[in-house]
């Protein structure tokens, strides 16, 4: 599946960047200001979308694409709540994962176990994300009322968002 794993990590790192950015900035008057900071999310998703895999991995790629739709939660505002949206992505991803599960059902070899673990990992990722959003971003991406503008926060962020997410 080539670089797909790398692109999935980049997508979630991009989502994390947007969350950290929001934690350091005031909510913009116009949410379209956020669009320019979504590139770390949209670029790797686009790369996965255009990948051409062996036919054996068609359901895998589709399950991943359905799962990755969840990262757009950062753009949702009430009345479109992000946690229910992510929970819907579970069903969409499960549609394709269930095809994989069906193909490997009843097999005990290492390949079958890896395929089932893959399906379980996709679902668990979405469930954990929905729980996180439900706890910290119930009505949408939370911004910092005492923060700076999005542009200034982006300038202040280093190349290591993990460092910038430290509790201050």
Q: Look at residue 116 and give its three-state secondary structure.
A: helix
Asked if residue 14 lies in contact with residue 44, where contact means CB atoms within 8 angstroms, the answer is yes
> pLDDT tens digits for 24-75?
999 998 888 999 999 999 999 999 888 776 777 778 888 999 899 999 999 9
The mean pLDDT value of the chain amounts to 88
> pLDDT tens digits for 25-37?
999 988 889 999 9
Q: Quick count: other Cβ atoms within 10 Å of Cβ 136?
A: 11
Q: Residue 25's beta-bridge partner residues?
A: 148
As a whole number of angstroms, the distance between CA 133 and CA 141 comes to 8
Structure tokens at 124: 């668990």
What pTM does this model have? 0.85
């Amino acid at each position: 599946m080539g670089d797909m794993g790398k692109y999935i990590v980049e997508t979630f790192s991009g989502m994390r960047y947007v969350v950290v950015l929001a934690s350091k900035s005031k909510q913009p008057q116009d949410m379209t200001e956020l669009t320019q900071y979504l590139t770390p999310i949209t670029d790797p998703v686009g790369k996965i979308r255009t990948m051409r895999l062996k036919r054996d991995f068609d359901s895998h790629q589709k399950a991943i694409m359905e799962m990755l739709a969840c990262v757009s939660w950062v753009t949702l505002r009430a009345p479109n709540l992000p946690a229910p949206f992510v929970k819907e992505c579970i069903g969409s991803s499960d549609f394709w994962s269930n095809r994989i599960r069906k193909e490997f059902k009843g097999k005990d070899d290492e390949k079958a176990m890896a395929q089932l673990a893959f399906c379980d990992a996709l679902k668990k990722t979405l469930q954990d994300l929905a729980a996180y959003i439900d706890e910290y971003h119930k009505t949408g991406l939370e911004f910092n009322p005492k923060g700076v503008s999005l542009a200034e926060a982006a300038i202040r962020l280093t190349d290591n968002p993990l460092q910038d997410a430290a509790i201050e």
